[in-house]
Amino acid sequence: MPKFTRKPIPVDAVQFRIDAPIADWPEGVEMCLVKAEPFLDTKDGVVFYLDDGDWIITLPDGSTIITHDEDFQKKYDKVKE
């Protein structure tokens, strides 16, 4: 069976830190008052609950995904500008 690799596609990403002041949280992240957990309501209408260290990734098409730090570190390298 043939093997494939992902095409390198640059993405914008920011890491969420629960201990950061709420004013410094990434744009769109809010605190759920019922669950007392931070969440992100994306433009796609998907609600993601965040854990400390999760990455908020904006794909080239403008959609947003969330990934845990361990998965992010396996899949992404920082682009040198």
> In angstroms, rounded to a whole number, what is the distance separating the alpha carbons of residues 81 and 42?
28
The answer to whether position 28 is within a domain reads yes
Instruction: Identify the three-state secondary structure at position 75.
Output: helix
66 is a domain residue:
yes
Range of the domain at 27: 12-75
Specify the pTM: 0.81
Q: What is the pLDDT of residues 17-52, one digit of tens each?
A: 999 998 899 988 999 888 889 999 888 788 899 999
Tens digits of residue pLDDT in 67-80 = 999 999 999 988 88
Give domain status of residue 81, yes or no. Answer: no
